[in-house]
Chains A and B, each alone.
Chain A
Amino acid sequence: RKEVEQDPGPFNVPEGATVAFNCTYSNSASQSFFWYRQDCRKEPKLLMSVYSSGNEDGRFTAQLNRASQYISLLIRDSKLSDSATYLCVVNSGYSTLTFGKGTMLLVSP
């Protein structure tokens, strides 16, 4: 089983739609979880951390299910500018992170 697995997509959605991405991780000892965003030919950038109780940042909501080793990201009211690849990230050691290969989102007018 891969350490961090994501559906590569692409997810094609119209503007204003709600879209959800899921991610599973294999290391039950992981304690830190993040979603990063990567635009085409750019570096990954931190979108948000994921907390045990779930957390929201504007149109973005992240959830963590430790029992199922599952993380999700929900984007409401999609904007064209949300088009990017979303990387699920899990800590794999005290300082190290393991990145999923990403889920591509394409938001169309």
Chain B
Amino acid sequence: DAGVIQSPRHEVTEMGQEVTLRCKPISGHNSLFWYRQTMMRGLELLIYFNNNVPIDDSGMPEDRFSAKMPNASFSTLKIQPSEPRDSAVYFCASSSPNRGNNQPQHFGDGTRLSIL
């Protein structure tokens, strides 16, 4: 089975540009999570969706960040305008339908984002 698929794997762009990160969750998984990982702050949850609906976006740093999930097999995280402090690895993860709350999350390979 295919795992979580993210694109691009690497992105280098100049500050002020719009950045769009993409994610395809594992088929059948109904929860999708966007994380950001840095050395200083570790892995931080930005937003998560359940059945394509955003449930908690309290981790989104500011209005420059937005995320959508138009259908069960696709999500985007957009940064506009981008800033150098947004440089990090962005992970997408998905988990299977809840049978209680013991579902682990499966991660994509991540997008390494560098804003110059």
Contacts and interface: CB of A to CB of B under 8 A. Distances in A.
Interface of A: 31-32, 34, 42-46, 49, 87, 91, 93-102
A7 B3 CA distance: 30
A94 B110 contact: no
Interface string B37-66: 000001101001010000110000000000
A99 B59 CA distance: 14
Contacts of A93: 56
Contacts, number: 49
B95 A42 contact: no
Given A44-B43, A44-B107, A49 B98 contact: no
Task: List 9 A-B pairs, minimum CB-CB distance, nearest first.
Answer: A101-B42, A43-B107, A99-B43, A46-B104, A32-B102, A95-B31, A94-B101, A44-B107, A43-B110
